[in-house]
């Protein structure tokens, strides 16, 4: 297992020297300043790589091993005319990354919105802060702030009533905060930050694009990308849709084990793989994570380790819990990843280790009050990584 840590670039309040102190060996990063659809040049990649990898002889070296993510242009997801040039550019970026030795690439195929939360500072009983997705608040945004045409059809009468009541109780500041949390862009988001009008315009482009059409567009994209990836020895790792279900009338197609089965039936290339984002898949009660980790073991090129606790009375709402204490059996998931690595070691054709990173940590201690990327403060992730490392060590030393 290769312990990695996400770095957003020179503006990230958690610096490369901070990362060195966490004990992680690998860095997950991207060229966030290059707009979706443009080529990542060799020079730009090398410059970023040098920021991560250059160090003094007496320092522990770090390696930029995983890209998260090369954004996929919306026109590719829409299957719009002329989108081939954006796919060609994506392939060119992948080729340039491979030249620099960076060969694991995470990406997603979520239309318009990337990961979505309603609360970025949800206070826990401990006093720390977590990220949360609240279904009722989300409905209030959809129905009362965005006022999406036809939105009522996606909710029960009782849900519409509750959302409207909640909206009526919210202050202007709370409404603005909720809007910004949803549409203005969370860290690492692969889509643009929008204003409400542009957001509505983007949503409207997807009228007529249902799950089957979107899936076909993903398969077309992969049909062009995977043969090159195979030649280069690059592994692709699709990230699931977070939260894993249709939202705002948009289809989402990487949510469940059946979605992954369709993906691999259509695109069996060994370069086609997944980011097992434990917290994302685990925010649906019908996703059994240890069993998915076993079922798709050979396809797991990268894993985000974090857990969620769903609300007992509303399973679509959740907060991001402690890494080892959530609705998900994290020890069993890590056990499945270790077994897969064992299988790879005994199978000469692919001995690759799985990159893992502690995903989203709580905002704790000195990080409270500091400028942080929501979910990506240092101390909470460090705690998560330390706990995960403990589980890995303990499982590795189990008597055979």
Residue-wise DSSP of 173-195? HHHHHHHHHHHS--TT-SS----
The H-or-E segment that residue 74 falls in is: helix 74-78
Pull the structure tokens for residue 212.
């089957």
Distance in angstroms between the alpha carbons of the first and the last residue of the chain? 18
Stretch that binds ligand DNO, among 42-50, 56-64, 75-83, 186-194 (CB under 6 A): 186-194
DSSP character at residue 144: I
Residues 290-319 that bind ligand DNO (CB under 6 A): 304
Sole binder of ligand DNO in the list 3, 26, 68, 341 (CB under 6 A)? 68
Minimal distance, residue 246 CB to ligand DNO, in Å: 16
Residues 230-289 that bind ligand DNO (CB under 6 A): 239
Minimal distance, residue 147 CB to ligand DNO, in Å: 27
Closer residue to ligand DNO (CB): 71 or 249: 71
Closer residue to ligand DNO (CB): 189 or 310: 189
Closer residue to ligand DNO (CB): 69 or 317: 69
Sole binder of ligand DNO in the list 49, 93, 108, 309 (CB under 6 A)? 108
Decide: is 119 part of the binding site for ligand DNO (CB under 6 A): no
32 is catalytic: no
Cβ proximity of 202 and 138 under 8 Å: no
Minimal distance, residue 79 CB to ligand DNO, in Å: 19
Minimal distance, residue 149 CB to ligand DNO, in Å: 27
Sole binder of ligand DNO in the list 114, 134, 142, 322 (CB under 6 A)? 114
In angstroms, the Cα distances linking 237 to 304, 322, 343, 372, 383 are 11, 25, 19, 26, 25
Quick check: helix, strand or coil at residue 210?
coil
Q: Are strands 355-358 and 2-7 parallel, antiparallel or unpaired?
A: parallel
Phi-psi sector, 345: left (phi>0), alpha (psi -120 to 50), beta: alpha
In angstroms, the Cα distances linking 309 to 134, 263, 319 are 12, 28, 6
277 is catalytic: yes
Minimal distance, residue 300 CB to ligand DNO, in Å: 15
In angstroms, the Cα distances linking 192 to 82, 195, 197, 200 are 20, 10, 13, 13
239 is catalytic: yes
Query: For binding to ligand DNO (CB under 6 A), which residues are involved?
Result: 68-69, 106-108, 114-115, 188-190, 239, 304, 375
């Amino acid at each position: 297992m290769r312990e990695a840590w996400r770095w957003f670039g020179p503006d990230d309040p958690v610096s490369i020297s901070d990362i060195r102190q966490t004990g992680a060996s690998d860095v997950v990063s991207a060229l966030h300043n290059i707009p979706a659809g443009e080529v990542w040049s060799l020079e730009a990649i090398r410059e970023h790589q040098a920021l991560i990898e250059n160090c003094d002889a007496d320092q522990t070296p770090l390696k930029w091993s995983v890209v998260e993510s090369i954004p996929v242009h919306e026109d590719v997801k829409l299957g719009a005319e002329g989108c081939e040039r954006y796919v060609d550019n994506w392939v060119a970026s992948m080729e340039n990354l491979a030249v620099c030795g960076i060969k694991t690439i995470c990406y997603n195929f979520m239309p318009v919105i990337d990961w979505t939360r309603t609360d970025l500072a949800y206070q826990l009983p401990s006093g720390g802060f977590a990220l949360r997705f609240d279904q009722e608040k989300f409905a209030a945004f959809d129905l009362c702030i965005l006022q999406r045409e036809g939105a009522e059809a996606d909710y029960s009468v009782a849900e519409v009533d509750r959302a409207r009541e909640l909206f009526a109780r919210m202050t202007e500041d709370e409404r603005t905060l909720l809007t910004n949390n949803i549409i203005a862009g969370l860290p690492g988001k692969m889509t643009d930050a929008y204003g409400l009008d542009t957001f509505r315009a983007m949503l409207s482009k997807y009228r007529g694009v249902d799950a089957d059409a979107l899936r076909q567009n993903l398969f077309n994209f992969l049909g062009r990308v995977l043969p090159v990836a195979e030649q280069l020895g690059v592994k692709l790792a699709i990230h699931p849709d977070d939260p894993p279900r249709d939202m705002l009338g948009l289809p989402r197609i990487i949510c469940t084990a059946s979605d992954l089965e369709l993906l691999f039936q259509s695109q069996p290339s060994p370069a086609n793989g997944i980011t097992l984002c434990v917290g994302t898949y685990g925010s649906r009660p019908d996703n059994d994570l240890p069993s998915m980790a076993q079922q798709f073991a050979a396809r797991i090129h990268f894993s985000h380790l974090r857990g969620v606790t769903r609300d007992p009375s509303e399973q679509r709402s959740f907060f991001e819990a402690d890494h080892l204490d959530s609705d998900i059996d994290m020890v069993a998931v890590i056990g499945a990843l270790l077994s897969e690595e064992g299988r790879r070691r005994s199978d000469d054709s692919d001995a690759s280790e799985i990159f893992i990173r502690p995903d989203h940590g709580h905002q704790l201690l000195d990080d409270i009050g500091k400028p942080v990327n929501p979910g990506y403060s240092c101390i909470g992730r460090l705690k998560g990584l330390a706990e995960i490392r403990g589980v890995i060590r303990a499982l590795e030393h189990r008597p055979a």
